[in-house]
Every structure is written in C-alpha cells, then in structure tokens.
C-alpha cells in the first residue's frame, strides 16, 4: 500500500501510517527498531531496497531522509515536506516513509524525524554516501544508538579511515569493517584447529580498499606481529598468508566467490567466502546494537603500521627467487655430471696412449 502526502507535517504522516496499518489488517506495529537512512535521490533506490531486504530479518520502520535544499534563492526560501508512505509487501516486513525536505527544512531534518521514531525502540542511522565528519555530533546521528557509515564511497577510502578514527564514538561502525567478518571468522577458526606460533602476516587486496587495511590492522592488533600489505588487482581482498613456524596458513579467494584454506600437513579445503550484498551487511549490523570494541581498536590503529608492497615488487621478488632456484639446480647438475665427464676424459687419454704405443 502506497500513500503520497504533499506539503505535509510529521503529525499527518503518523496519522497516515496508523490508517495504512489498519487498512492492511494489522493493528500492532510489531517492529523492533527505527532505521534512518540519510541519502540523496541518486542513491535512495538502492539504499531502500537493501533496507527492505534487511527488514525481513529485522522488522523496522525505515525513514529515508532526502534533503533538497534547492539551487536558487527562491527554491531555498520554499519550505516544504513531501512524504511517500509504503506499508505491506512494498515495504518488506516493516514500514517505509520517504521524506523529501525542501528549502530551509533540510537543515532541520531532526525536527521532522524525531516525532516519527518508534517509541521505546532503538534507533540506527545509516549514511550510504557522504557521511558527516563526526557522525555522533550530527543532529540525526545524535538520535541514534548505532551509526553506520561506508568508507568505500568516500573520495579517499583509506584516508576516510583516519577520519573515522578521529571522530570515533561508541556506537559508530563502518560497512568496510562488516565486509571482513567472513575473513576474520575463517582465520580465527583455522588457528583454533591448528595452534601455531605466528611470526608475520601478509594481506593481499586491491588498492584503495579500506577493508584490506582494516583486516591487516585487526591481524596486527590480535596477533602482535608485523603485517605486510600487498596490492593486487582484486576483487576486494584476494588472499591472507599467516607465516608460522610449521608453514604458511593461507586463505585465498582470487575470484570473490569461493575461498581455499590451506594449512600445513592438511588437505586444501574450499570455503564459502562470497562478497556480500549491502542488504546482508546491514542485516548483520542490525543484529547487535552495542558498541563494537574490536572495530574501535582496529580503526584507531594508524594505517602506517602496515608495510606496503605492490604487485611489481612481489613479481620481482618471485622472479629473483625463481632465478636463485634455477641457479642452484644448475650447480647441482654440474656437480653431479663432473665425475662422469672426468672419467670419460681419462679413458680418452688412456686410449690415445695405447694407440701411440
């Protein structure tokens, strides 16, 4: 069920929500939280689709805040609130309200959102793009227990990690961190199966991907070993190598779909490590509404702690190692054939003496 309201107010939106709920045959709200999405027209469709998919696991009231301040002085002077209300199958397992704020109202979005929050329910704010420098100090972010950003969408994704570290407040998180949950789980399980002394680690992944840096910083903090960062063509994170006294533990995922876990004295195993959709990432973040202390430690660690090496250096090192191996094999072959050559030469000399006699 869809309802459009033009030049409306928060109280009229609340009344329309109750009427739509009664019309759909549901008198109780039955929702566990309020998800506020701060976005623009270009990203609204994808963000709302991800939120609707996540609501099947977490029934919620979704408020999409779209600010349209206007380009001309006349447009900026016009203050108007338009709303689009979706209830039922069009809104997943919850309710969706798209709020378009025109003119000066765009600078006071919290005054519109506050009356629409579910009573006695947690509030989560998500910025799919263009997150504020200090999410907790943002007027909308101040209403929430959890604040979700995404460093991948920033102009400088890795540089955005420094900003997230500087402005971190308990309750902040980033989807770049959520994307490495599978990698962290697999690596922790591998070390549980085969306890070993880790001497160093290598993380391989595409350039300008904050998830690669966060995974390296997490390994550095948890294992207290040097971590090397290797740049590859991707997609995303492609491999992690844990150097141990017994051999390398390697988790390799070259295609972004299926990973291979290799451990010393064990057969290789295929593991599910597919790159996840945004809806799955949001659903994971909504499962926990308490501060993520592990993320806080990782994001506050300077990226400079990682030793970076690009693909060209890796290829040069591999070529040098291969040349050294070829040289060693050639020397061993020459040493092995030397006695046979000496014996043939001696036999030829003896034959020549007999012929001269």
Q: What is the pLDDT of residues 255-289, one digit of tens each?
A: 888 999 999 888 999 999 999 999 999 999 999 88
| Predicted confidence (pLDDT) per residue in 213-228, tens digit | 999 999 999 999 999 9
Of 185, 60, 58, 195, nearest to 118 by C-alpha is 60
**What is the C-alpha separation between 215 and 273, in angstroms, rounded?**
15
Q: Which residue has the tokens 């195993």?
A: 269
Task: Work out the pLDDT band at 356, boundaries 50, 70, 90.
Answer: very low
Torsion of CA 133, 103, 116, 49, to 10 degrees: -70
Q: What is the pLDDT at residue 265?
A: 86
Q: What is the pLDDT at residue 204?
A: 95
Of 205, 212, 208, 47, nearest to 130 by C-alpha is 47
Q: What is the pLDDT at residue 355?
A: 41
**What is the C-alpha separation between 161 and 342, in angstroms, rounded?**
67
The residue that leads in pLDDT, 266 or 177, is 177
Pairing state of beta strands 95-102 and 172-174? unpaired
Q: Is the pLDDT of residue 173 over 90?
A: yes
Q: What is the mean pLDDT of the chain?
A: 84
Cis status, amide bond into 235, omega within 30 of 0: yes
| Predicted confidence (pLDDT) per residue in 293-329, tens digit | 999 999 999 888 787 764 444 444 444 544 543 554 4
| Residue 204 DSSP one-character state | E
Q: What is the pLDDT at residue 220?
A: 94
pTM of the full structure: 0.82
CB distance 64 to 44 below 8 Å: yes
- List, edge to edge, every strand of the sheet that includes 95-102: 2-5, 80-87, 95-102, 60-68, 33-39, 123-126, 146-149, 172-174
Task: Work out the pLDDT band at 46, boundaries 50, 70, 90.
Answer: very high
**What is the C-alpha separation between 107 and 105, in angstroms, rounded?**
5
Residues 129-147 have a mean pLDDT of 95
Among 8-17, 189-198, 266-275, which stretch is predicted with the lowest mean pLDDT?
189-198
Pairing state of beta strands 2-5 and 80-87? antiparallel
What is the b/e burial string over 302-314, where b = at least 16 CB atoms within 10 angstroms of the residue's CB? ebeebeeeeeeeb
Task: Work out the pLDDT band at 91, boundaries 50, 70, 90.
Answer: low
CB distance 54 to 91 below 8 Å: no
**What is the C-alpha separation between 34 and 60, in angstroms, rounded?**
5
Q: Is the pLDDT of residue 200 over 80?
A: yes
Q: What is the pLDDT at residue 29?
A: 61
Beta strand ranges found along 46-188 (DSSP E): 60-68, 80-87, 95-102, 123-126, 146-149, 172-174
Q: What is the pLDDT at residue 44?
A: 93
CB distance 54 to 279 below 8 Å: yes
Q: What is the pLDDT at residue 131?
A: 93
Q: What is the pLDDT at residue 88?
A: 73
Q: What is the pLDDT at residue 262?
A: 93
Q: What is the pLDDT at residue 208?
A: 86
Q: What is the pLDDT at residue 84?
A: 93
DSSP H helical ranges for 194-310: 210-223, 278-286, 293-299
Q: Which residue has the tokens 């990690």?
A: 161
Of 319, 184, 157, 160, nearest to 240 by C-alpha is 184
């Amino acid at each position: 069920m869809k309802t459009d309201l033009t030049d409306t107010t928060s109280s009229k939106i609340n009344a329309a929500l109750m009427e739509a709920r009664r019309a759909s045959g549901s008198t109780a709200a039955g929702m566990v939280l309020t998800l506020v999405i701060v976005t623009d027209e270009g990203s609204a469709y994808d963000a709302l689709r991800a939120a609707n998919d996540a609501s099947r696991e977490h029934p919620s009231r979704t408020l999409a805040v779209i600010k349209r301040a206007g380009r001309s002085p006349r447009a900026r002077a016009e203050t108007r609130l338009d709303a689009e209300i979706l209830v039922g199958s069009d809104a997943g397992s919850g309710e969706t309200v798209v709020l378009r704020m025109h003119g000066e109202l765009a600078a006071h979005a919290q005054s519109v959102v506050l009356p629409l929050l579910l009573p006695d329910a947690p509030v989560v704010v998500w910025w799919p793009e263009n997150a504020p420098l200090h999410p907790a100090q943002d007027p909308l972010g101040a209403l929430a227990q959890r604040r979700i950003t995404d460093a991948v969408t920033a102009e400088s994704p890795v540089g955005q990690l420094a900003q997230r570290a500087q402005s971190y407040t308990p309750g902040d998180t980033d989807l770049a961190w959520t994307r490495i949950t599978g990698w962290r789980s697999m690596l922790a399980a591998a070390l549980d199966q085969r306890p070993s002394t880790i001497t160093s680690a290598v993380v391989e992944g595409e350039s300008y991907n904050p998830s690669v840096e966060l995974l390296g910083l997490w390994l550095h903090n948890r294992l207290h070993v040097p971590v090397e960062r290797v740049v590859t063509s991707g997609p995303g994170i492609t491999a992690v190598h844990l150097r141990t006294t017994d051999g390398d533990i390697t988790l390799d995922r070259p295609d972004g779909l299926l990973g291979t876990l290799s451990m010393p004295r064990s057969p290789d195993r295929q593991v599910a490590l597919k790159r996840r959709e945004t809806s799955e990432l949001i659903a994971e973040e909504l499962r926990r509404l308490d501060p993520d202390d592990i993320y806080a430690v990782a994001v506050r660690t300077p990226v400079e702690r990682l030793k970076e090496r690009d693909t060209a250096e890796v290829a040069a090192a591999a070529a040098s190692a291969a040349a050294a191996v070829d040289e060693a094999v050639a020397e061993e072959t020459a040493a092995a054939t030397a006695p046979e050559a000496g014996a043939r030469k001696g036999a030829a000399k003896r034959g020549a003496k007999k012929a001269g006699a």
